[in-house]
Structure 1
Amino acid sequence: MSFHWESLVLGLIAFAILYWLLSKYAFDPLFSIMEKRRELVQQQLTEASNTREQAIGYVEEQKAALQQARQQAYDIIEQSKQTSGKQAAQIVDLAKNEATRLKDDAVRDIQNEKNKAVEQLRSEVGIASVKIASKLLEKEVKEDNVQEELVDQYLKEVGGKS
């Protein structure tokens, strides 16, 4: 096999021309497209990172909102318990006051009825005493009026026992 310098030089020239043509018409547009693709991928990665950070922020906000809602619900429940406890105490107090009022009214009514009964009894005793006295007077009338004193004494005793 023989070595030809002319074919080597011709091959090198052909390779240089091919390289120059490829770099002018193929490599620059290809590198340009690859650079655009790289920028697009980089931009998408940046957007994905930003979206992820926003999602994490939203999750944290949702956690905080949920915690706040739970706290508000707990506060409402506690306030309801306190309010119901106060209302129960008010109802018990009102019931006690009503019972006391009814008891006082009943005691007053009983006292009034007792006083009426005593007055009626006194009236009946007085009438009976007068009848007794008139019967006694009909039987005998004395000058010292012993029967009248007996009736007065009897009326005083009856009046004093009430």
Structure 2
Amino acid sequence: MQSFATIYAGGVIWGFHVGDMLYQLLFFAILLFLVRKFAWGPVMNMMKKREEYVANEIEAAEKSRIEAEKSAKAAAEQLKQTKMEAQKIIEDAKTAGIKQEQDIIESARQEADRIKKAAQAEIQNEKEKALQALQDQVASLSVLIASKVIEKELSAQDQEKLINEYIKEVGEER
């Protein structure tokens, strides 16, 4: 073993200069103090602010995502409700259209029946008038024929001639 004196010869221990090491150690301590005082605090504050900023951004993004999901659900529900309302309106319109169509058909049918009955009644009236007029003419012609028969006694030829004249007169009066 070597003695301490051989190891510490002229301020050198095992090849290291003790004075230089003390100066370096002193300057390193001063550097650590200065770094801690002037750089470490601001760097740590900046890192803390950055950490808070990132955390706030993540939280805001999560809130935005939740709001977007809520809005999407609300929009989907509103769209579903709107579709149901539109379908109901369409069905109501179809029902109203069918009812209106049936009402129009029934009204047209009733109007046609009324017109038909009125036409039949008018035809019946005109038929009765025509029959009455024909009866009146037949009566007047009968009276006329009777008066002519009375005026002269008719032979078969005269009777035939009288009937033909009668038919001719009836045809002209129409």
Asked if 1:123 is matched to 2:136, the reply is yes
By how many angstroms is 1:119 displaced?
Answer: 0.8
For 1:25, what is the secondary structure of its paired residue?
A: helix
SS at 2:56's partner residue? helix
Counterpart for residue 19 of structure 1? 32
Aligned to 1:103: 116
Structure 1 match to 2:105: 92
Q: Which has the larger radius of gyration?
A: 2
- Counterpart Cα distance in 2 of 1:13 and 1:104: 132
Task: Tell which deviates more after alignment, 129-138 or 45-54.
Answer: 129-138
Distance (Å, rounded) in 2 between the aligned partners of 1:3 and 1:102 = 136
The residue correspondences of 1:48-67 to structure 2 (distance < 5 A) are: 48-67=61-80
Whole-angstrom distance in 2 between the partners of 1:45 and 1:92: 69
TM normalised by structure 2 equals: 0.71
Percent identical pairs in the alignment equals 38
Deviations 1:38-59 (A, max 9, x none): 1111111111111111111221
With 116-125 and 24-33 compared, the bigger mean Cα shift is at: 116-125
- 2:3 paired residue number: none
Q: Which amino acid aligns with 2:140?
A: I
| In 2: Cα distance, 1:65 partner to 1:11 partner | 75
Rounded to whole Å, the distance in 2 between the matches of 1:72 and 1:101 is 43
Unaligned segments of structure 1, at least 5 residues = 141-162
> Structure 2: any 5+ residue segments left out of the alignment?
1-13, 154-174
Q: Could you tell me how far apart the structure 2 residues matched to 1:2 and 1:127 are?
A: 174
Size of the aligned set, in residue pairs, is 140
Question: 1:2, CA displacement in angstroms?
Answer: 2.8
TM value normalised by structure 1: 0.75
In structure 1, C-alpha distance between the alignment counterparts of 2:16 and 2:93, rounded to whole Å: 105
Counterpart for residue 113 of structure 1? 126
For the pair 1:40 / 2:37, whether they are aligned, the reply is no
